[in-house]
């Protein structure tokens, strides 16, 4: 709540400086809401700021990709730099913090977590219909605001709350919902957390609005650097899966496949021989939504200190290379699976033993720089496979798995029953290793979090399944209840 109060309008307006010529036309101290957002183009600049927050290292630029892998059984720490040590051990209060970021960004010392991005979206949606401008652009920017707000709330909901129907001891609180802008201290207020069903209902509503407003995009083209109709359908398919609305998940995954020209037999996915190279291509040939990162988006030491490339590979001499594949994950790949080639045997200077570097994160744009694919096409086949399995359509589930497997160097499966669900979980695990899915795939299914090495599994009933609300927020806001056993 404290950080929400810090979100002043002019702060949001100034944050869009890198994306708009507007700020070059007059002194920044003279900016007003009327000046900065006088037309649709001004609101588009604010939307670019909203996108910019997505690439932050405390969000998809690093934490949301790595923490869910370390907290489960996909990655292990091989050098103690203080990072991810607590998450690997699932220590008390060592989780994911999206409510407030602790790392400063390049523009301000006050980074209000995802609520800053949500406030950008709220400002756009509250005001863009009141200004002049091109109608197609207006609709696009509105659709983007709905999409990013839905993505932000979805990530908050799955970090801080249980999915609907998976509550432990009936605890159903999620996060604070805000759908109107906070423009200053007088507009800020204290609120209680909404329930998980309320938050998910808002996410679904936002995505349905986004689908109606956004343009189409072509898979693996620069179109995917911005939200599109198909990307919103893909996110909604994932949301429905988390909500256990399996029929809707299957339908929406199919709709997204149609939007991107993907066929039931896997046409549109990369062939096995191009899979690894696809991660050194911008955009990734399977990207449905990808965060573009350019050299001007980073400070001089950002790549070395914070990039996925630096933490997961040693292709640059100065890389940190502190994380590698777990023994358990490495042993789980089937013979012939091209995804095994996303790990290459190497050495770590000063450390005895054999290690493996990632080939998904090679900083192929130079100096540790690369884009971040957030949604890839293969997920649609796996969403639909799981949704079909859980609606007693094992034939359809196998067809989707086999379509994906045929593009990953593997033969068809004839698995059925529990073995088929196990295979769906395995395919998710190996397909999205280092892409932030593993913890959440186990959690949304109400499963014990499996661990590698000597670390103890985390039962689903354990309080550490949920992240704690930051303590300073609890102190400030009497209406804010923390998650169980964190008080």
Q: Let me know if residue 114 belongs to a domain.
A: yes
Q: Let me know if residue 47 belongs to a domain.
A: yes
The pLDDT value recorded for residue 15 is 40
CATH of the domain at 104: 1.25.40.890
CA 204 – CA 232 distance, rounded (Å): 10
Q: Let me know if residue 267 belongs to a domain.
A: no
Range of the structural domain that residue 146 is part of: 1-59+98-214+471-487
| CB neighbour list of residue 220: distance below 8 Å, 6 or more residues apart | 283, 284, 285, 286, 287
* Phi/psi of residue 366, nearest 5 degrees: 100, 140
Residue 370, CA distances (Å) to 53, 177, 274, 376, 420 in order? 16, 33, 18, 16, 35
| CB neighbour list of residue 57: distance below 8 Å, 6 or more residues apart | 63, 103, 302, 306
pLDDT tens-place string over residues 73-93 = 999 999 999 999 999 999 999
**In this structure, are residues 323 and 70 in contact, taking their beta carbons and an 8 Å threshold?**
yes
Q: Let me know if residue 387 belongs to a domain.
A: no
Q: Let me know if residue 19 belongs to a domain.
A: yes
Residue 246, CA distances (Å) to 5, 243, 252, 258, 417 in order? 38, 8, 10, 18, 17
Tokens of residue 9, six digits:
């309008």
pLDDT for 32 beyond 70: no
* Global confidence as pTM: 0.93
The pLDDT value recorded for residue 115 is 93
The pLDDT value recorded for residue 21 is 31
pLDDT tens-place string over residues 300-350 = 899 999 999 999 999 999 999 999 999 999 999 999 999 999 999 999 988
pLDDT tens-place string over residues 365-374 = 999 999 999 9
Q: Let me know if residue 154 belongs to a domain.
A: yes
Q: Let me know if residue 126 belongs to a domain.
A: yes
The pLDDT value recorded for residue 188 is 76
The pLDDT value recorded for residue 4 is 39
**How confident is residue 399, by pLDDT bands cut at 50, 70 and 90?**
very high
Split into its structural domains, the chain has a count of: 1
Q: Let me know if residue 462 belongs to a domain.
A: no
Give the 3-state secondary structure of residue 424.
helix
Give the 3-state secondary structure of residue 288.
strand
**In this structure, are residues 36 and 22 in contact, taking their beta carbons and an 8 Å threshold?**
yes
């Amino acid at each position: 709540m404290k950080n929400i109060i810090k979100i002043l309008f002019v702060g949001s307006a100034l944050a869009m400086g890198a994306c708009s010529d507007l700020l070059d036309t007059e002194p920044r101290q003279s900016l007003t809401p009327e000046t900065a957002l006088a037309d649709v183009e001004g609101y588009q600049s604010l939307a670019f700021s909203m996108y910019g927050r997505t690439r932050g290292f405390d969000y998809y630029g690093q934490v949301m990709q790595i923490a869910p892998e370390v907290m489960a059984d996909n990655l292990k720490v091989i050098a103690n730099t203080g990072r991810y040590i607590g998450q690997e051990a699932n220590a008390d209060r060592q989780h994911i913090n999206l409510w407030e970021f602790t790392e400063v960004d390049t523009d301000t010392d006050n980074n209000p977590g995802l609520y800053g991005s949500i406030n950008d979206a709220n400002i756009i949606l509250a005001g863009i219909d009141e200004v002049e401008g091109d109608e197609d652009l207006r609709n696009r920017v509105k659709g983007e605001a709905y999409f990013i707000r839905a993505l932000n709330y979805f990530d908050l909901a799955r970090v801080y709350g249980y999915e609907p129907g998976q509550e432990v001891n009936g605890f159903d609180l999620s996060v604070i919902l805000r759908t109107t802008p906070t423009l200053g201290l007088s507009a800020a207020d204290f609120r209680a957390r909404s329930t998980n069903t309320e938050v998910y209902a808002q996410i679904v509503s936002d995505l349905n609005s986004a689908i109606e407003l956004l343009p189409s995009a072509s898979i693996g083209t620069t179109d995917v650097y911005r939200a599109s109709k198909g990307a919103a359908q893909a996110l909604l398919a994932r949301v429905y899966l988390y909500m256990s609305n399996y029929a809707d998940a299957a339908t929406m995954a199919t709709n997204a496949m149609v939007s991107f020209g993907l066929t039931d037999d896997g046409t549109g996915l990369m062939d096995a021989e191009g899979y690894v190279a696809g991660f050194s291509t911008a955009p990734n040939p399977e990207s449905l939504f990808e965060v573009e990162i350019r050299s001007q988006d980073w400070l001089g030491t950002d790549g070395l200190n914070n990039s996925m490339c630096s933490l997961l590979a040693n292709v640059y001499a100065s890389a940190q290379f502190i994380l590698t594949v777990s023994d358990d994950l490495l042993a789980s790949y089937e013979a012939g699976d091209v995804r095994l080639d996303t790990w290459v045997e190497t050495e770590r200077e000063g450390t005895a033993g054999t290690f493996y570097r990632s080939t998904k994160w090679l900083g192929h744009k130079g100096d540790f720089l690369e884009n971040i694919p957030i949604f890839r096409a293969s997920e649609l086949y796996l969403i639909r496979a799981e949704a079909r399995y859980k609606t007693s359509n094992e034939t359809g589930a196998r067809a989707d798995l086999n379509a994906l497997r045929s593009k990953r160097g593997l033969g068809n499966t004839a698995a059925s029953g529990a073995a088929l669900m196990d295979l769906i979980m395995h395919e998710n695990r190996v397909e999205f290793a280092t892409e932030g899915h593993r913890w959440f795939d186990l959690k949304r299914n109400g499963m014990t979090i499996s661990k590698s090495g000597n670390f103890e599994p985390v039962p689903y009933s354990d309080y550490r399944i949920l992240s704690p609300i930051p303590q300073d927020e609890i102190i400030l806001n009497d209406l804010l209840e923390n998650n169980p056993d964190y008080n």
